[in-house]
Structure formats: C-alpha cells, structure tokens
Structure 1
Amino acid sequence: MASLKIILATAFAILLTACGSLEKKAVLLNLGDTKEQVLSVMGPPDDRQLKGQNEAWQYCQTGAGFGYHDYRTVWFFQGKVTGINSYKSSRPASSCVTDIKPIRWEDAPDTTIEIRKR
C-alpha cells in the first residue's frame, strides 16, 4: 500500500512539473532576441508562417492543464522577436497541432524595436 502511494505521488509530481513548461520557457524570451535564441529556449516551432519580413512561430503543449492545450505565438520582424501572444483551446477530442489558429497578420505587434544606451 505504501509503495502504491509513492508511485501515485511520483506520477502526480511529474504531471505537475510538466504543467506550464511552455509558459516557463516563453518567460525567458525578450524583445529583440534572435531566431537562434528562440530556438535554443523553445525548440523548433510546431507551426511557422511568413509574410514579407514578418514571421510567426507557434508552439503548442498538449495536456498543459486539465483538459486544454496551451499555445504561444512568437512574432518576428527582420529576424528579431517583436512580441509573444498566448491562447488556450479546450475543444474535446482535439490534438494540439490541429487546433493551431491561422496567423492574423493584423494582430502582429508593432515592429519598432528601439534599444537605448544608458
């Protein structure tokens, strides 16, 4: 009985550790980061779309919470991060990748990145 409790507690701890990992990775990104920096933190995207010098990478995590998928969209202009958006999906019997939303380029963040020296 005690070993069953240990197994269940371990399984629950692993499940909780996986929750929010996409969010934790996205927090490490900053405006102006390069694609290489994003790849090193987030890994390869589940979806990639291009329009001129704009680019959007989408990431998804299945089972991010109880019954939903977690998504992050990383926006680039001229190869630099200009913003990050998130959304969730809870459509029953869906997979993470099939629920990725099409990119709406009008939702892209402002492409002006200004870095000032102090």
Structure 2
Amino acid sequence: MGICAKLRASSWAYPTAVLSLYGFFANCRVAEPFLTPYLIGPNKNISGEVVTNYLFPIWTYSYLAFLFPVFLLTDFLRHKPLIVVQGLFLVTNYVLLCFAPGLPAMVFLQVH
C-alpha cells in the first residue's frame, strides 16, 4: 500500500496534511519582498516612515486580533467555507493593492 493510500485511509492524517499544505501555500506570498518598495515608489508615493511605523504595525496587530475569532469560526463552520473565503480575500487584497489609491485604502488592506 502506497503512502498516499495509507494517508487517505487514516481518519485524521489526510485532512491534517491537506490543511497543512494549504496553509503553507496560502502564506507563501511571493509579492511580500516587493511590497515596501512598491508602496514607497512612484505608484503609491507613501513615505518609508509611514509604511514602517504606521501601516505594518496595523497589519501585525489586526492579524493578532482576528486570529482567535477566526479559529473559533473555523471550528464552528468547518474548514471548506473559510478556505474559499480566504482565497477570495487574498485575490481581492492583491487587486486592491494594485488599483486602490491613497493611504486610507492601504490601511484598509492591512486589516485582513
């Protein structure tokens, strides 16, 4: 019996492996190293000090604030609806990042 068949036969290992792979690929964001130069550059024209001291802390603390409620919601609704919603939010986030003008839009994007 192959490893995939053994994994599927297990009641907990297969969903755990699939969710772990999804979590890895959902957080593998290739645009992150280019985000600060993009925000500072001529496209968005936000100062480096505002990006470093204002935008990125909003991102960190909003992530921390939403972590526990999303965990409870995931436990209540199961994983599939929240995976679809997270995928839609990630796509919307990058579309708004490219086309939304101004600092208020960037603050809104940092709260996800």
**Do the two structures share a fold, i.e. TM-score over 0.5?**
no
Q: Which has the higher strand share?
A: 1
* Structure of greater relative contact order (alpha carbons < 8 Å, 6+ residues apart): 2
TM-score normalised to the size of structure 1?
Answer: 0.31
TM-score normalised to the size of structure 2?
Answer: 0.32
Q: Which has the higher helix share?
A: 2
